[in-house]
Amino acid sequence: MEHGKILNEKPQTRNPELGTRNRPPLIDVQGLSVGFRNGRDEVVVVRDVSFRIREGETVALVGESGCGKSVTALTLARLLPEPPAFHPTGVIFFRGREVLQMSSAELRAIRGGQIAYVFQDPATALNPVFRIGFQIEEAVRAHRHHVDSRQEALRLLALVGLSDAEACLRAYPHELSGGMQQRIVIAVALACRPKLLIADEPTTALDVTIQAQILDLLKRLQNELGMAVLLITHNLGLVADVAHRLNVIYAGSVVESGAVEDVLTAPAHPYTKALLGVVPRLGSTSERMQGIKGMVPSPSNRPAGCPFAPRCPRVDDACRRTMPSTQTAGGVDHQVRCCHPLKEKS
Amino acid sequence: MSQISSREPALLGVSDLVVEFPVEGHRRLRAVDGVSLTVGANEIVGLVGESGCGKTTTGNAIVGLVPATSGTIRFDGREMERGTAAEKRQLCCDVQMVFQDPMGSLNPRLPVGDAVFETLTVHRNRLGLTTREARQSRVTEIFDMVGLGADFIPRYPHELSGGQRQRVGIARALAVRPRLLIADEPVSALDVSVQVQILNLLKDLSQELSFACLFIAHDLAVVRYMCDRTLVMYLGEVVEEACSDILFRSPSHPYTQALLSAVPDVDKGLAARGKASNRIILRGEVPSRLNPVSGCPFHPRCPAAVDRCQSEKPDVADLGEGHLSCCHFSR
């Protein structure tokens, strides 16, 4: 068992929450900005984003649509076509090397090989005209020579919990259900035993009972393979369930970050607090939720100061003038980008 | 399976609704299999289930968008199928629908005000809006009511955000003063912060304009927030029904229990951190409707299934207070 071999290579923690804090960062993003050119317009979509992911850790990137979550994720392995995207500014250290300075050959080696992606819609992530077996084997062959790709594909299918592996390999994507397709996409992503799995809304297109299966699978695989996961989602329930750390992104900037317990029980940024207030809860009574007034500003039309200022209940002149800097808020590693952070426990 | 509103006559009463679609090979796919439900006046009733469980088809059959294979649908005591042409047109006015995708349900070439104006023109005599001016002022009034303001009237759908478009969808449905609104996944295409605005709008308007609502959704937390009573569907059948407080606090059917435990929830997630997960993970997937399941439709995935579930279809068990569950082990 090759996966057995990797398990023995490094000390395995059954509970990855323990001890992840002291590990070296696997990926360290500092001051990342990404923009696009559209005709004569230049739009900065991601502004000065910093975060790090340690080995074996699950970090969530949370925000509403249009906040730059997916653009950030795609930039980590430089998957955005340039142009229309600008060359990103800032630094991305991946295992000590600068991703933004890599040659295309070096990038090809880490894409899929060390950083793998799982996207929202499995139906479009798989190629409709090739059999499943070919698509998994292709990923194995791309980065791992001297491996029997057929055997490896069968093992990967077993790993993601598909029982009739031989039949699956012969199937075309349309012959499988959404849940099975997403398992295949995960199998393809795991084909080269990535150090970092970037899961961009991995369960949004799935039904809740299937979503529970896929989340359970991702948790189990992370424990077994010791990989780090960047989970991109708009669902705070999901974050509370699976993530260790959380970055809240609003209008292209990380406005709050910290351990999930700290951020969700004592949010320091008014946006995080407002976001928590609009999530319908299963256990709630019919108490009225207060919406957040206004809308997320479009990237071409963002306010000068704090991006949340037009919708913020605590806004004053200072917020409208300058972008607040990042400051510490209470807990370990709990940071907030706000002029007037909330102090009290909510 | 509805008995709750038998004391007072329900606004909408559906009994034993069956909807079948012909599929290739002269087979028939039974999308809705004997659904009975009631919606009382001013009541918001939730219909939840996973994709393919027949909740949308049920909604479509109620408004007549798909023909019912058998069963009866009564609105205000009258059978919808049987009426005269004039009565049916009146029903169009009384029962309106809000769709999931507002971009797909609005004409991209028609200013949104015209889309609302058009429905008023169709129903002008029934509404007493015989003059153009009267209809125009009704459009302004309803745009105001859904929080859009008159300057949105000449705009086209692509100029609006998702939330604004859904407000237009609601305005169009409510312009003709319906007594029942069928809302089919009205917020699932929207961001959370916008979702709450639309939910609050629907809640407020249902009070203000006193209409009833059949709220179809897959998001249990949203249904919990919106609905007085909730029905859970699985494989074309209603498996459990209760007032929302009871259903979400003490679900009786194993499917409802699994569904509730599968939903990621902030409070539940925070409480369970660092502990072993007690989530019920269902095996397998929803079976295909072309190969009907014997006995209880849920038995192939049910963690509590015994031999009896495979052979014998469970009856509806009345657990009191309008709580009905379709399981051999409900009591």
A323, pLDDT greater than 90 = no
CA A101 to chain B, closest CA, distance in angstroms equals 36
Q: What is the mean pLDDT of each run of 10 residues along chain B (331 residues)?
A: 54 93 86 92 92 89 90 87 82 89 88 93 89 93 90 91 90 93 89 87 91 93 92 93 92 92 87 78 78 86 89 89 89 69
CA dist A171 and A186 (Å) reads: 16
pLDDT at B8: 60
pLDDT in tens, A34-50: 988 877 788 888 889 99
pLDDT level of residue A304 (50, 70, 90 thresholds): confident
User: How far is C-alpha A121 from the geometric centre of its chain's CA atoms?
Assistant: 15
* The two three-digit tokens of residue A20, written as one number: 């992840």
- For chain A, positions 56-85, list CB contacts with chain B under 8 A: 64-65
Does position A8 have pLDDT exceeding 70, yes or no? no
* Partner-chain contact A278 B248, CB within 8 Å: no
CB contact under 8 A, A281 and B193: no
For A107-133, what is each residue's pLDDT tens digit?
888 888 889 998 888 888 899 999 999
Interval A223-252 mean pLDDT? 89
Cβ atoms of residues A245 and A259 within 8 Å: yes
pLDDT at A22: 64
Inter-chain CB proximity B248 and A282 less than 8 Å: yes
Tell me the nearest-neighbour CA distance from B222 into chain A, angstroms.
6
CB pairs under 8 A between A and B: 134
- CA distance to partner chain B, nearest, from residue A153 (Å): 21
Task: Find residue B79's DSSP bridge partners.
Answer: B74
Q: What is the pLDDT of residue A220?
A: 84
pLDDT of B84:
83
- Distance, in Å, from the CA atom of A174 to the CA atom of A132, rounded to the nearest integer, reads 10
Q: Do the bridges between strand A228-233 and strand B180-184 make them parallel or antiparallel, or are there none, so unpaired?
A: unpaired
Q: What pLDDT does A2 receive? A: 41
* Residue numbers in B near A281 (CB within 8 A): 221, 224, 265-267
Residues of A in contact with B225 (CB under 8 A): 280, 284, 286, 289
- Name the band, by pLDDT with cuts 50, 70 and 90, for residue A9: very low
Helix (H) or strand (E) holding A336: strand A335-337
Contact with chain B for residue A217, Cβ under 8 A:
no
- Find which of A157-161, A301-305, B45-49 is predicted with most confidence, using mean pLDDT: B45-49
Provide, as residue numbers in chain A, all residues whose Cβ is less than 8 Å from the Cβ of B185. none
The model's pLDDT over B109-161, given as tens digits with 9 standing for 90+, comes to 999 999 999 999 999 988 888 899 999 999 999 999 998 888 899 999 998 88
| ipTM entry | 0.80
Q: Could you tell me the end-to-end alpha-carbon distance of chain B, in angstroms, rounded to an integer?
A: 16
Compute the mean pLDDT over every residue in chain A, rounded to the nearest whole number: 83
DSSP state of B22: E
Residue of A nearest to B255 (CA): A209
Confidence of residue A201 (pLDDT cuts 50, 70, 90): confident
pLDDT tens across A205-235, in order? 778 888 888 888 888 888 888 889 999 998 8
Helices and strands (DSSP H and E) totals, chain B: 13, 12
Q: Find where tokens 């896929």 sit.
A: A214
Who among B199, B248, B264 is closest to A237 (CB)? B264
Q: Report the percent of chain A where pLDDT is more than 70.
A: 92
From residue A92, alpha-carbon distances to A45, A76, A134, A189, A244 in Å are 17, 7, 33, 21, 21
Element (H, E) at B205: helix B192-208
User: Looking at residue B120, what is its pLDDT?
Assistant: 93
Q: Does A8 touch chain B (CB under 8 A)?
A: no
SS3 B256: helix
Locate the chain B residue with the closest alpha carbon to A211.
Answer: B262
Is the pLDDT at A274 greater than 50? The verdict is: yes
- Of B73, B11, B1, nearest in space to B42 by CA: B11
Q: Do B196 and A180 touch (CB under 8 A)?
A: no
Predicted confidence at residue A232, as pLDDT, reads 92
Are residues A216 and B277, on separate chains, in Cβ contact within 8 Å? Answer: yes
A308 Cβ partners below 8 Å, 6+ apart? A250, A251, A255, A269, A270, A271, A338
What pLDDT score does A286 carry? Answer: 60
Q: How would you classify the pairing of strands B12-23 and B70-75? A: antiparallel
Q: Provide the residue type at A295 as one letter.
A: M
Show residues of chain A in contact with B279, CB under 8 Å: 212, 216
Q: What is the mean pLDDT of chain B?
A: 88
8 A C-beta contact, residue A259 and residue A331: yes
pLDDT of residue A16 exceeding 80, the answer is no
Cα dist. B81→A70, A268, B61, B71, B268 in Å?
49, 57, 11, 10, 46
A289 — contact with chain B (CB < 8 Å)? yes
Scanning every residue of chain B, which has its alpha carbon at the shortest distance from the alpha carbon of A178? B285
Q: Please give, rounded to a whole number of angstroms, the shortest distance from the CA of B230 to a CA of chain A.
A: 13
Q: And the tokens for B306?
A: 């015994």
Q: Per the CB < 8 Å rule, is B219 touching A280?
A: yes
